[in-house]
Structure formats: structure tokens, C-alpha cells
Amino acid sequence: MKNLKLHKSVVTHVEQLKDAKLVQIIANGELCYSTNSSIWRLNLNDTPRLVVDLSLTDVYITPECDSINITSYAYYEPWDSFVVGCSNGDVLLIQENIVEIAFKCEDLISNILCSPDFERIILLTSQGKITLVTECFEPLNDFNIIEVELSEKLLVNVGWGKKETQFHGSEGKSKRVVKEVIGDENISDDSINICWRSDSLLFAIGFLDKVSNLRSIKIFNRDGILQYISEPLPGVEAVLSWKTTKELISFSQHANEKYFISFMEKNGLKHGDFEIPSTINVKQLLWNHDSSILCIQCADSNSNYLLFLSCTNYAWQIKKWMTIENKIITAKWLLDNSLQLITDNGSYYTLYWAETLCTSSPGTLDWVAVIDCSSVLLTPFKQVIIPPPMFHLKLTVDSPVDSVLYMPQNQR
């Protein structure tokens, strides 16, 4: 029954971010960014500090090394260091101004992702090869995401966790039948997305299966052993995020001419969804620290948006719809329920959120107003007791509702 209120917002312009790439938020007011051959660290109250410049290190001193660029990096918090991927496949560890080659891959490093406990590091190459290493860069496993197959979970299978044995409620036995899913030959996004579960025991990888023309999700344990493969689903997009409360993987999906945010269990079976406006394109799903707020970063042909949603009795409602003038290049929730984001014009936003209960003044019918996108759901609790997400009266307007105010009784 609660709504979301923007309690406080701070916008700071950072000139250095206009031409930067691979921008990452480290902490509140602290960030890092890269150029082709250097990484910089910046506190909003200070001047940028050079972390590394490949042309100035002793690692690359020959003329042939001039063409080596930084293609990815990750901030490694326990050591206050950086893990840097290069175009020649080298993985550098930069700690206290010391640069060393910690690992080597065969191809360009396109992404580096540390586990939440920082005990595992995933290296993704441009050819789709995954290498999993420890925090000391000891290799644990490497595989091609498309080619890797199940091994452990196929040895014992008594039907549990299969679609045929799930309870489907009022939809009946017909829902148990596994229908053939036809892929989309026009799908163009073949990117590989990776997300860790918050306890660092599992990670999921989304990719395009070019044989079936369907995007699929594979779930691995912390040692890189494949545990589950998602059931075939139509219209799955590249956006992928594990809820911080660990139980479900979230992703965007087109199905039956509608647009959804869908959920998947760790065994690869879909577990519910909710519809979102079909006029937008989802770019990123961001969960706050306890998964009570979902921020959907999205865009259309005109602008960029942030949608903030919360859930009541399994019903998801859009509480805020914010328009952001410039393209969002990175965003991150912090533990104080603030969302930090950076746009391509160099603006650094800090948005502080608080839950509010919108009730009428004493002496009235005790109205409670709940915002759901462009609708306000009203219930007079002095007259009727209706549990949310149900309501007594619904008011709908032409655009998303920002807030609700009650007129004082003496002015009615």
C-alpha cells in the first residue's frame, strides 16, 4: 500500500566524464572511468587520480605494445585494486601503483565480473569463452558458453523441478505440456550477459543460441560447473539480473504481443511475470539491497526513463516514472536506498528514496491512495476493508502519477 517518494536528489556535473568510457561507480560520490590506455579514479570533491596508463608502465615497453588498449576492468574492493582486461588478452592486476600481468587469455577481454564476495572472477573474451579464476587468479574452469553441456544434474533425475511436475493452479493439466518454441530469425542482439547471485554461490549467463534462434540462460555454481539450463522461452532479451534476495532471476521478455518482466527459478523454469508498457525498451534491471524496489532503466525513441516499482501480494506496481534527458551509461543502488547514476553529458545523480503511506487527514473516511503508473487506487478503510492490491475506486489519468495530495476539509 506504500508509495515511493524522492526524498532528496543531488546532481553534480563532472566534466571529465563527457569523453570517458567504461564508467563505474565505486561508492557514494566515488567513481572510475577509462580511456583507450588509462584508468582514472575520481572523488566528486577532488581532482581525478591516475590509476594506470599502459604507455607509462614497465609491462608494455616495446613499440608493438602501443596498439594495446584497455577493453574492460573491475574494481576489486578487498585490495583496493583494479583488475584490467586488455585487447591482447592480458589481465592486469593494479595495486598500489604496481602493475603486473596476473593472467593471460587467448582473445580480447570483453568483460570482467567479480563475485559479490570477491572470491571469484569471471573473464569473458570476445569469442564467447568464459574463464573462471580465484581471487589469486588460479584457474578453476573455462568453457564456451554455447558448447558447455550438463553433467552433474543429468546423473540423477526423478522428475522434480520439471515443468510436468509443477503445480499450475487453475490453468490445469494443459499447462504441463511442454510446447515447441519457435525462435526469431531476425534477432540481432547476440551479447552475453552475466549476473551473480548475491551469496556468490551461483551465477547465470544469458546468450543467443544461434541454432534455435532463442536466447537461453545457463546457471553455474561458483566453481563454473553447469547446473541448469533454462526452458525454451520466446522473446527473451539480453537484460539479466538476479534478485538480491537470491530466489529468482529477472529478465525482460516479449510474448503474445506484450512486454513483460519475467522471473526464473535457479532450476531454469519460469516463475511468473508482470506486464510493462510495450512502448519502451528495457536496458537494465536494478534491484535495491533487499529487492523491495526494482528500478527499470529503459528508453524509447524520444528519451530515457527510470521506472521504480514495488510489489504487494505478488502484484507489481509502477510507483515512479522519471524522465532522464541524457543517455544513462551506468547506475548502481547503494545500501542507504540511494540510486546513483551517470549520464553521457557528465551528470552524476544521487536519488534518495523513501516509502510513504498516502492517507487522508483524521476525521475523514481514512482514504488510502496507492499509485500504479497512471492510476490511483483508492480505498476508504473506515467504510470497507479491502486487502491490497485490490481497491475500492480507481482513478486513471493520461500520464504517470507522481504524487497524491488530499484537499483540506475546510476547503472542500
Three-state secondary structure of 153-175: CCCCCCCCCCHHHCCCHHHCHHH
Number of H helices, E strands in the chain: 0, 32
Question: Distance of CA 268 to CAs 161, 213, 222, 331, Å?
Answer: 9, 18, 17, 27
The pLDDT assigned to 410 comes to 64
First-to-last C-alpha distance (Å) of the chain: 26
Q: Which is nearest to 297 in space by CA: 237, 207, 375? A: 237
From CA 43, how far away is CA 197, in angstroms rounded? 29
pLDDT in tens, the chain (412 residues): 799 999 999 999 999 898 788 999 999 999 999 999 999 999 998 999 999 999 888 888 777 777 899 999 999 999 999 999 999 999 999 998 899 999 999 999 999 999 999 999 999 999 999 999 999 999 999 999 999 988 755 444 445 555 566 555 655 555 566 677 877 777 878 999 999 999 999 999 999 998 889 999 999 999 999 999 999 999 999 999 999 998 899 999 999 999 999 999 999 999 999 999 999 999 999 999 999 999 999 999 889 999 999 998 889 999 999 999 899 999 999 999 999 999 999 999 999 999 999 998 887 889 999 999 999 999 999 899 998 889 999 999 999 999 999 887 766 5
Q: Give how far the C-alpha of residue 377 lies from the chain's centroid of Cα atoms, to the nearest Å.
A: 29
Residue 59, judged by CB atoms within 10 A of its CB (0-12, 13-18, 19+), counts as: middle
| Region label for 326, one of left (φ > 0), alpha (ψ between -120 and 50) or beta (otherwise) | beta
From CA 370, how far away is CA 403, in angstroms rounded? 9
From CA 225, how far away is CA 259, in angstroms rounded? 32
- The amino acid occupying position 181 is V
Contact 333, 288 (CB under 8 A): yes
Q: Which residues contact 55 (CB under 8 A, 6 or more apart)?
A: 37, 66
The pLDDT assigned to 150 comes to 85
Determine the 3-state secondary structure of 273 from DSSP: strand
Residue 168, judged by CB atoms within 10 A of its CB (0-12, 13-18, 19+), counts as: exposed
Determine the 3-state secondary structure of 77 from DSSP: helix
From CA 190, how far away is CA 209, in angstroms rounded? 8
Question: If residue 16 lies in a helix (H) or strand (E), which one and from where to where?
Answer: none
Question: Grid coordinates 514495488 are at which residue?
Answer: 310
Residue 325, judged by CB atoms within 10 A of its CB (0-12, 13-18, 19+), counts as: exposed
The pLDDT assigned to 158 comes to 44
The pLDDT assigned to 175 comes to 56
The pLDDT assigned to 157 comes to 45
Rounded (5°) CA angle 80-85-83: 10
Q: Which residues contact 141 (CB under 8 A, 6 or more apart)?
A: 130, 131, 132, 223, 224, 225
Residue 201 DSSP class = S
From CA 14, how far away is CA 108, in angstroms rounded? 30
**β-sheet bridge partners, residue 298:** 282, 305
How many residues in total does the chain contain?
Answer: 412
From CA 321, how far away is CA 400, in angstroms rounded? 6
The pLDDT assigned to 388 comes to 87
